[in-house]
Structure 1
Amino acid sequence: MAPVLLDRAFARFITAGRLEIHYPDGDRRVHVGRDGPQAAMRIADGATVRALLLNPALKVGEAYMAGTLQPVGCTLYDLLHVLMLNVMASAPAGERVLAPLRHMGRRWLHYNTRRRARRNVAHHYDLDSRLYRHFLDEDMQYSCGYFPTGTETLAQAQAAKKHHLAAKLHLVRPGLGVLDVGCGWGGMALTLARDYGAVVTGITLSHEQLLVARRRAREAGLEHRVRFELMDYRAVAPRQYDRIISIGMFEHVGVAHYPTFFAAMREALRPDGVMVLHSIGRVEGPGVTNPWIARHIFPGGYSPAVSEAVAAVEKAGLWLTDCEIWRLHYARTIAHWRSRFASQRVPVARLYGERFCRMFEFYLVVSELAFRVQGHLNFQLQLTRDIGAVPLARDYMLGRHAPAAPSAMAGPWESPRYAAALRI
């Protein structure tokens, strides 16, 4: 009975593209909607049939990890393209029941206390750093690159991202104190110190990232300008900074803690300071995290609607002085990561095994498709405490129109790295 019910569900679900399904008993069914992508899949056993019927958003990924759901004559990307495109039009029957329940419990699911936040970060970011070196760029930027023309390499796009965000910080002179909230492996902090003369404090909850970042600072000879600390954003006070940058960290804060986050950032920002926040978001308004992503990749994670972030900014008494939306930049970034991961699959399997590789492949594919067909985006908010903290016009954010370099040091717009990032 379960295969019959699942096939009926697929018949209603597929309204775009073509999906061919090979059932455990050898039966083959084809469902066709309007013009769109095509794919086929094989379901290995009855347990997987029942799981897909009851909880597809979680079980598709888990079945792929277990090898009981496999693409047939196509790639995993092809298969998930069909499935995720149709989710946007009509959620599967099981999801119509579970999704409202997840939404009701999302404040608890994202209730990231200090202890819980440390545990969540360790789950993903305390993996062996060799894993990330296998698919990230040399600077280990694990966030959206910037592709102004679409032809940039991954390294060029990540360099362009860093300098684009640095321009929004309005670093008018060397020696400004910068707080990097969620500093990762230190790439942005080192760039701000080396190319802009900033004095940077990077904070992270990942022990593995902390070790790598500190080693990179030593190797670059920048220990006098950059320090990295194992610290929660709620523990920054009473220190204050001229500038605050946060890239790809806000997704780990949790809806219930947005007021706390922005209140902490306001307190850490000097009265004439500038903050720039870069985050994944969603176009359709408040939602929930995919349950497979929440269980296997980013526990406690959530990509907010811009409206949710802005509402918390307003309550914190901060000025939203600029907002920029990036649409397909992250899709392009992840496409690079997928290709690089595939080319390094053997050494990754030696580190963590075949099941992990399948999990990570699934993660990268669903993440890319979330930006291509499911309304995910990146947003950047520039925030200040004072109405006059930044110029009236945003021309200063455009690297080609940067002001003359301060006499104390060569401006970043004169550095070879910056010129290369803008050579588009």
Structure 2
Amino acid sequence: MVLVAPACTSGIFGMESLLRRLFGRIVQRGDLLVTSASGERWRFGDGSGQRVAIRFTDRRAQWGILLAPDKKLGELFMDGRLIVEQGDIYAFLDLVLGQLHGQRDPLIIRIIERGRMLYRRIAQANGQQRSRRNVAHHYDLDGGLYDLFLDSDRQYSCAYYEDGDATLEDAQLAKRRHIAAKLVMRPGDRVLDIGCGWGGLGLYLADVAGAAEVLGVTLSSEQLGIARRRAKDAGLDRQVSFELQDYRTLGGSFDRIVSVGMFEHVGVTNYRTFFETCRDRLSEDGVMLLHTIGLSDGPHSNNPWIEKYIFPGGALPALSELLPIIERSGLVLTDVEVLRLHYAFTLRDWRERFLARRDEALALYDERFCRMWEFYLAACEVAFRHRNVVVFQLQLARRQEAVPLTRGYIAEMEEALKRAERRDSQSAVAAE
């Protein structure tokens, strides 16, 4: 359905005709109202659901959507040149991208993607200095920002929703528990956490799962300071240590290696180095768990808006890229789990928390930053709901006998960890 207000529709407005046809081809369901820079109003969809209304403020903004939508849409929203007048940016993205699922990209997008793939390896050549700069761009922001939307343990990666009613706190605890179970933790194990964030997983592995020693490494000075303080406050600083160190410079041997939400920053040119380093650091009977966002439909270039504003140097791997490298690295793939929609639920909870405390974010940064962050959370949530973006959990070992024969041990160990969590909680209450 397209409704055009009585305004000029020819001459210089040929570009608007192209824009109208683009929306008309995509939006067949729902209710979308678009106001063009010239004042024309177009309505798309079948009228179902809540209306979403957007407005373009200038003609260059409209050209941007036509020529480079995956980059310009976020920029236009940040700059206030695409205004959402009814609904919010999530509702708009959900309405549009939800209808693109399963459709073949337009020819111009496919041509652009081929060019970006040729440039991909150069763009993601993340040496040690560049890796540190990339990490600082995102993770060394004001710590108060992350307090606005993360759980109390500051888990900044996909949670694990065991049921639809789980809170963010429950789901992030379940994630730590699920990972610990897959690591098949044993008393006395020495653990390496590559990309340890603010330290929550390392502290859990020591306090609940029984690790004798945990070393967490990060490239973020902000995360390092908080992780060390948390270890000291918990009385675990002799058992758990954190260092500002690149994984490529590590020495020693570890019984267990875990990496959660860090592999996306490695870069495609360093995949081989990453897995070979992990093999060299893993003991002969050791187990590793890699938790990473990935693509279920083969390799793609990074989203240019995400690359520029959120995660420079990032890359989402496809299994078809990783498995040949893992096979050649000397590691054995012992288990694969694909977490579908869990990150969409996580991002939903983050986005709702952020919007509820948006005024506090505005006190830390400016309006443009707040719009950028809202777009980031909304666009990523929609990608996990409607595009071929998932989370892979890969369990790896040097010997196939390092893990039990069947997967029943995962549920058994999770139950044991739940009992340990309850004991810790009861001890904490008694201490008070």
Q: What TM-score results when the alignment is normalised by the length of structure 1?
A: 0.92
Query: Unaligned regions of 5+ residues in structure 2, if any?
Result: 1-13, 427-432
- Classify 1:418/1:317 alpha carbon distance in 2 versus 1 (closer, same or farther; 3 Å): farther
Structure 1, 89-98 or 280-289: larger mean CA deviation: 89-98
Out of 237, 242, 262, the residue aligned to residue 228 of structure 1 is 242
Give how far 1:73 is off: 1.6
Corresponding residue pairs, total: 411
Could you tell me which residue of structure 2 aligns to residue 326 of structure 1?
Answer: 339
Could you tell me which residue of structure 2 aligns to residue 157 of structure 1?
Answer: 171
**Residue type of the partner of 1:318?**
L
User: Residues 24-423 of structure 1: matches in 2 within 5 Å?
Assistant: 24-32=37-45, 39-88=52-101, 89-91=103-105, 94-173=108-187, 175-198=188-211, 199-237=213-251, 239-399=252-412, 413-416=419-422
- Judge conservation of contact 1:9–1:93 (CA < 8 Å) in 2: no
- Classify 1:327/1:38 alpha carbon distance in 2 versus 1 (closer, same or farther; 3 Å): farther
Give how far 1:339 is off: 1.0
- Judge conservation of contact 1:110–1:301 (CA < 8 Å) in 2: yes
Give how far 1:115 is off: 1.3
Q: What is the alpha-carbon distance in structure 1 between the residues aligned to residue 81 and residue 30 of structure 2? A: 23
- Classify 1:163/1:30 alpha carbon distance in 2 versus 1 (closer, same or farther; 3 Å): same
Q: What TM-score results when the alignment is normalised by the length of structure 2?
A: 0.90
Give how far 1:330 is off: 0.9
- Classify 1:19/1:274 alpha carbon distance in 2 versus 1 (closer, same or farther; 3 Å): same
- Classify 1:417/1:180 alpha carbon distance in 2 versus 1 (closer, same or farther; 3 Å): farther
Give how far 1:94 is off: 4.9
- Judge conservation of contact 2:124–2:313 (CA < 8 Å) in 1: yes
1:31-65 Cα offsets, whole Å, 9 max, x none, are 33797885321001112112212211100000000
- Classify 1:283/1:401 alpha carbon distance in 2 versus 1 (closer, same or farther; 3 Å): closer
**Residue type of the partner of 1:274?**
V
- Classify 1:118/1:265 alpha carbon distance in 2 versus 1 (closer, same or farther; 3 Å): same
Give how far 1:286 is off: 1.1
Give how far 1:418 is off: 8.4
- Judge conservation of contact 2:181–2:414 (CA < 8 Å) in 1: no
Give how far 1:15 is off: 4.7
- Judge conservation of contact 1:163–1:418 (CA < 8 Å) in 2: no
Q: What is the alpha-carbon distance in structure 2 between the residues aligned to residue 412 and residue 225 of structure 1? A: 21
- Judge conservation of contact 2:149–2:350 (CA < 8 Å) in 1: yes
**Residue type of the partner of 1:328?**
L
Q: What is the alpha-carbon distance in structure 1 between the residues aligned to residue 59 and residue 27 of structure 2? A: 21
Q: What is the alpha-carbon distance in structure 1 between the residues aligned to residue 50 and residue 300 of structure 2? A: 26
**Residue type of the partner of 2:169?**
A
Give how far 1:11 is off: 3.0
1:391-415 Cα offsets, whole Å, 9 max, x none, are 2122221146767xxxxxxx76433
Q: What is the alpha-carbon distance in structure 1 between the residues aligned to residue 50 and residue 388 of structure 2? A: 18
Structure 1, 127-136 or 83-92: larger mean CA deviation: 83-92
- Judge conservation of contact 1:253–1:301 (CA < 8 Å) in 2: yes
Give how far 1:287 is off: 1.2
**Residue type of the partner of 2:127?**
T
- The percent identity for this pair of structures is 46
**Residue type of the partner of 2:369?**
F
Aligned CA-pair RMSD: 2.1
- Classify 1:34/1:280 alpha carbon distance in 2 versus 1 (closer, same or farther; 3 Å): farther
